[in-house]
Amino acid sequence: MAAIGIGLAVFIRLVIFQPEQPWYTWLTVATVGSVVLVLVVNLTLKGLGIARDLHNLKYRDVVTLALFASIAHGFSYTYVIFVIHSYAYDNFMRESMIIVMGGFFGNMLVIGLLTYFAQHSQWLQRQIQRLNRDGTQ
C-alpha cells in the first residue's frame, strides 16, 4: 500500500509542477519508482532476516531500509527522467545523489520526530501499555 501512496504522490507532484509534460510520462515515472521501492524494501527485509509481520524489526533496520530505499529511488527516478527527456548523462550522478540525500535526510527527520514523539508523549505511552496489557490477557 505504501508503494501506491508514494507513486500517487510522485505522480500528483509532477503533474502539478510540470504540467507541460503529458500525464502518461509522469505516470511512467511514478510506476517505475513504486516498483523499484517495492523490490528494494522486500529484498532488504529478506536480506536482514526481518519477518513479514515486522516483529523483529530494530531501529538500525529502519535506518538501513531508509538508506537503501533512498538510494534506489534516487537512481531510478533520475534514470527514468534522463531517458524520457533524452538528457546527456554528464550530470546523472550529481542529480541522483541530490535526490538520494534529500530522501534519506527526509526519512531520518520523520523517523527522528516519530521516535521523539513516541518517547515523550504520555498519551502514546499509555496506549502502548494498554495494548501490552490486552495482549498478555
Range of the domain at 94: 2-136
Is residue 6 within 8 Å of 34, Cβ to Cβ? yes
Q: How high is the pLDDT of residue 125?
A: 86
Q: How high is the pLDDT of residue 82?
A: 93
Q: What is the pTM of this model?
A: 0.80
Task: DSSP letter for 121, please.
Answer: -
Is residue 48 within 8 Å of 73, Cβ to Cβ? no
Mean pLDDT in order along the chain per 10 residues (137 residues): 84 91 91 93 94 88 92 93 91 94 92 88 88 75
Q: How high is the pLDDT of residue 136?
A: 67
Candidates 71, 80, 132, 77; CA nearest to 107 is 71
Q: How high is the pLDDT of residue 137?
A: 62
Q: How high is the pLDDT of residue 91?
A: 92
Is residue 29 within 8 Å of 77, Cβ to Cβ? yes
Number of domains in the chain: 1
